[in-house]
Structure 1
Amino acid sequence: MDSFELNKILGALLGTCIVVLVMSFAAGSVFSAKLPEKPGFEIAVKEESHGGGEAAAAASEPIEKLLQTASVEKGAAAAKKCQACHTFEKGGPNRVGPNLFGVVNEARGEGRGFNFSAAMKAKGGNWSFDDLNKFLTNPKGFIPGTAMGFAGVPKDSERADIIAYLNSNSEHPAPLPTASK
């Protein structure tokens, strides 16, 4: 191959690169992407107000009234979503969350061989029916700083069913509270 042939090949290659480069600049100016003011995607979440869990629970029917029509069987079915983090059988292991056997009227943030969050320990008290209702409505609203990442159970009847199931899931189930008139 002589030098003339080599010059033609290199010239064609260089010419092709220049055409591609010019077309890239032209396409970039015609179809320019506008950068967002803030990089990334915004994820819309419901804003929590102070005492959000208590306010949401107060707006619903009282738990005493809801428990009168609650179904343990429906509660067992609804509690299946909790099994990703909790166990319910006596002596069951802790997972991401503690075992919930006999949780009704038990001390909050203590025992069970589980390392509870500082917020849960600081809240203290016992798990009453009303407190379970408020917590299951909005865990982070009832106990700000809790490690429980679950958003809550918005439906009153489903919450009551779960609480009835938790109550029945004990060696000595607590008597259901009576609805006040």
Structure 2
Amino acid sequence: MDTMTLTKVAAGLFGAWLILLMGKFAAEEIYHSGLHGEASYVIEVADAGGAEVEDAVPFEEVLASADAASGAKVFKKCSSCHKVEQGANATGPYLYAVVGRNVDAAEGFKYSGALEKVADVWSPENLNSFLTNPKGFAPGTSMGFKGLKKVEDRANVIAYLQSIAN
């Protein structure tokens, strides 16, 4: 096999790869451009009751009855990225005295900028919203955690975070 044959094979492979990438790019542009128009008809359906209904109990009441010891157990999910010692940043910022602290106040941690747009202070209510769905609360956040679905778990974690600062 000579150099010319090798060059032709390489050019064929790279050309095919380039055409594939250009086709992918064009397909994404067409799909996201809105050229496909509106739906021609909409089928109305009755609510099947599949959505979860939030409890009518206010979060403040759930937080008042929260257990910090249970929160420490739930916090183990968070401990792979967050530490509770002051100044001990890991993948995420340290959470010592986080309740009541400014959202971007962990010394030495570089924030993504998404949190500063939605909240100023980590109040229990802001923590509750963030822990429910981090990406929903602060779109663009670099936190990859899916969230805590149970309100009791969120309240217990917040009670635990409040207890370690005292």
Q: TM-score under structure 1 normalisation?
A: 0.59
**What is the aligned partner in structure 2 of residue 86 from structure 1?**
82
Alignment equivalent of 1:141, drawn from 136, 145, 156 = 136
Give the number of equivalent residue pairs.
115
Identify the structure with bigger relative contact order (alpha carbons < 8 Å, sequence gap 6+): 1
Q: Which structure has the greater CA radius of gyration?
A: 1
- One-letter amino acid of the counterpart of residue 136, structure 1: L
Aligned-residue offset at 1:57: 10
1:108 paired with 2:103, answer: yes
Structure 2: state its 5+ residue gaps.
Answer: 1-51
User: Distance in 2 between the 1:88 and 1:57 partners?
Assistant: 33
Q: Secondary structure at the match of 1:83?
A: coil
The equivalences for 1:94-133 within 5 A come to 94-133=89-128
What is the CA deviation profile of residues 11-39 of structure 1, one whole-angstrom value per residue up to 9, with x for unaligned ones?
xxxxxxxxxxxxxxxxxxxxxxxxxxxxx
**What is the aligned partner in structure 1 of residue 58 from structure 2?**
62
User: Distance in 1 between the 2:158 and 2:100 partners?
Assistant: 11
Report percent identity of matched pairs. 43
**What is the aligned partner in structure 2 of residue 74 from structure 1?**
70
More deviation, 73-82/102-111 = 102-111
Aligned-residue offset at 1:58: 7.0
What CA RMSD, in Å, does the superposition of the two structures yield over aligned residues? 2.0
The alpha-carbon distance between structure 1 residues 57 and 82, as it changes in their structure 2 partners (threshold 3 A), is farther
Q: Secondary structure at the match of 1:135?
A: helix
